[in-house]
Structure 1
Amino acid sequence: MVRAVGKEREPGGTQSVERALSLLDAFTPEHPERRVSELVEETGLGQSTVSRLVGALESYGFLAHDPRSGLYRIGPRVVGLSSLGLNQSPVFRQARQVAQNLAAALGLGANVAERDGARLFYLCHFEGHLAPRTFTMVGQGGPLHATGLGKALLSELPAAEIEALLGTTLPTYTPKTVSKLSELLDALEEVRSRGYATEVEELAFGRACVAAPVRDRSGRVLASLSVSGPLSALDLPNRQAELATRVIEQADQISTALGYSGISLAAQRP
C-alpha cells in the first residue's frame, strides 16, 4: 500500500484513545496551559493529528481554548469527572470533613493521600490561615520517601516490596532528603514504633509535616493524614508531640469510619 507523502494515516480506535490521553497527560501543574505546537513537541505526534484530537477534546469539554492567547487548558468535563471519582472514594467521603476541621482548628494545611504505585496522590487538601496556598493539591502527586504522608503510606509494607517500588537509590530534593533505601527503612521503623511520620525540609525548604496512617477494615494502611505548613507555623521543637497526638486521633477517627476495629495487619503477623 502506497501512502501519500506528507499525509498522516488515520489511527485505529484504540490508538486514537491512547493519543488523546497522551495529550491530556501533557497538562501538568508546571504546564497547566499549552499551545498546539507545545503538544506536538511534548507528545511527538504530528501537527494534524494533534489539531484534530485537540478539536475533538475541546468539543467534548475535556479541553478549553482561549482564542486570544491560543492556549488550551483542562476543560470542565475533566473537573466533573474528577469530582465524580473523588465522591466515589470511601476514604474521601470519610476524611473530607475531618481534614477540613483539623485545618480550621490548627490553622495548618491538612492533607489526605493514597498511594498510586511508587507515588502518592492527594485526595483532600485544606488550607489553614497559617499555611495558605494559592492552589489546590488535590489530584497532584508526590514522592513517597520525601514526605510524611508517603512514609506513613509505606510504613507497614515489607522491605522487599518497598525496594521493588523505589529501588535502592532515591531521588533527592533538598540536602535533607533520605537518599538511600537503608535510611528510609530505618525511618519507617521509627514511624511504626511511634505511630506517626515527620518530614522536615525533605521535599521543600522551609516546610514540614506530621502524618499518620489511615487503615481500612482489615487493618491495611490505605491512606494517610497530615498537617503541614511553614516551619515557623508547625514549631516542631515545641509542638511535635501535640501535633502528632492530634493527627493520630483524627486518622484513627477516619479509620474507624472505614470499619477498622483496632488490630493492624502488622500486629497480626507472628
Structure 2
Amino acid sequence: MLDDVVRERSGVTMVRSGATGAAVTGTQSVERALSLLSYFTDEQPERRIAELVELTGLGQSTVSRLVATLEALGYLARDERSGLHRIGPKVVALAGIALNQSPVHRASRQIAQNLAYELGLGANVAERHGDQMFYLCHFEGPLAPRSFTLTGRLAPLHSTAMGKALLSGLTAHEVREVMGKAYPAYTPHTLTSLDRLQQALDEVRARGYATEIEELAFGRACLAAPVRDRSGDVVAALSVSGSLSAMDLASRQDSLAAKVIEYADQISTSLGFMAHARLGI
C-alpha cells in the first residue's frame, strides 16, 4: 500500500509519493502567489494588502499569508513607514540572470551603449514575444534622458519602429498569424490595419530600417534596424529614439539609418550572421 506524506508550508501543499519520492507541488497556491506579483505595474508599483484582496477576489487571510511568504523569500518588499508592498530584490536578481543568459543581450549590450554614447540618443534592443516586443536593454543619451528604464517592458509591434523591424523577417502569412485582427490606435498616426502594416513592412525590407513618428506616443520618434542570427532569421531589433526635435528625422534620417544599420550588423555578426554567405558570395 502506498503512503502519501502531505506537508503544508507557507500555504503551499506538497504531496510526496512513497513509491517514487517525487514531490508534487500544489499548483493553485503557486498560481495565486504569482498572480499577486502581476498586479504590480508601472502605473501601480506599490500595493496594499486590501487592494490585492479586492483585485484577486481572495480572502484577507489567504492574501496576507501569500504576501508574507513572498516577502520572506524576497519577491516582495514592504515599506515600513507606508505599509505598502512593492516588487522585491529577488525578482530583480532573477531578471538579471535571465538577461545574462540571453545571447542577444550579451551580444548587443555594449554595442547599444556605444550607440547611445555616440549619438546622444536613447538606444534600445528588443526581441519579439508573440504579438509584442520585449525590451532587452536600454541606454539613455544626453539628448534623450529618462528617469526610468525600458528594460523588461512590452510594447506593441504595429506601432513601433522596432516592432516593424522585427516583423520584417516574417512572410505576409506569418505577419497575419502573429498580429491577428486587433490594431489599436495610440495616436492618429498609428497603423490600424493589416494592409497598412504590410505596406510599411515592404518598405522596411526594401531600405533595411523602420521608422516611427508619433505612432505610439506624441512627441516621440524612433528608427530601428533588424538584427539577424547565424541562420539569417531576424531575432531582434536595434533602435535609436528620442523626442522629435532630438531625432530630427527630417534632416538626419539617412545618417541615423546608416549608423543604426551599421551597429545592428555588428550585433548580427556577434550572433554568427555572415551577410556574404547569405548572399551566396
TM over 0.5: yes
Under a length normalisation based on structure 2, what TM-score does the superposition of the two structures give?
A: 0.89
| CA distance, structure 2, for counterparts of residue 33 and residue 163 of structure 1 | 38
| CA distance, structure 2, for counterparts of residue 59 and residue 222 of structure 1 | 38
Q: Which amino acid aligns with 2:179?
A: L
| CA distance, structure 2, for counterparts of residue 33 and residue 11 of structure 1 | 25
Question: Which residue is 1:4 aligned to?
Answer: none
Deviation at 1:165, TM superposition (A): 2.1
Q: Is the 8 A contact 1:219 1:263 kept in 2?
A: no
Deviation at 1:169, TM superposition (A): 3.7
Question: Which residue is 2:29 aligned to?
Answer: 16
Question: Which residue is 1:107 aligned to?
Answer: 120
SS at match of 1:50: helix
Deviation at 1:264, TM superposition (A): 9.0
| CA distance, structure 1, for counterparts of residue 33 and residue 277 of structure 2 | 42
Under a length normalisation based on structure 1, what TM-score does the superposition of the two structures give?
A: 0.92
Question: Which residue is 2:201 aligned to?
Answer: 188
Map 1:4-153 → 2, pairs under 5 A = 12=13, 13-153=26-166
Map 1:187-266 → 2, pairs under 5 A = 187-262=200-275
Unpaired segments ≥5 residues, structure 2: 1-10, 14-25
The number of equivalent residue pairs is 258
Return closer, same or farther for 1:156/1:70 CA change in 2, 3 Å cut-off: same
Question: Which residue is 1:175 aligned to?
Answer: 188
Of all paired residues, the percent bearing the same amino acid is: 66
| CA distance, structure 1, for counterparts of residue 277 and residue 44 of structure 2 | 41
Deviation at 1:263, TM superposition (A): 6.2
Q: Which amino acid aligns with 2:189?
A: K
Please report the RMSD computed on the Cα atoms of aligned residues, expressed in angstroms: 1.5
| CA distance, structure 2, for counterparts of residue 46 and residue 166 of structure 1 | 38
| CA distance, structure 2, for counterparts of residue 42 and residue 164 of structure 1 | 33
SS at match of 1:130: coil
SS at match of 1:58: helix
Question: Which residue is 1:6 aligned to?
Answer: none
SS at match of 1:20: helix
Unpaired segments ≥5 residues, structure 1: 1-9
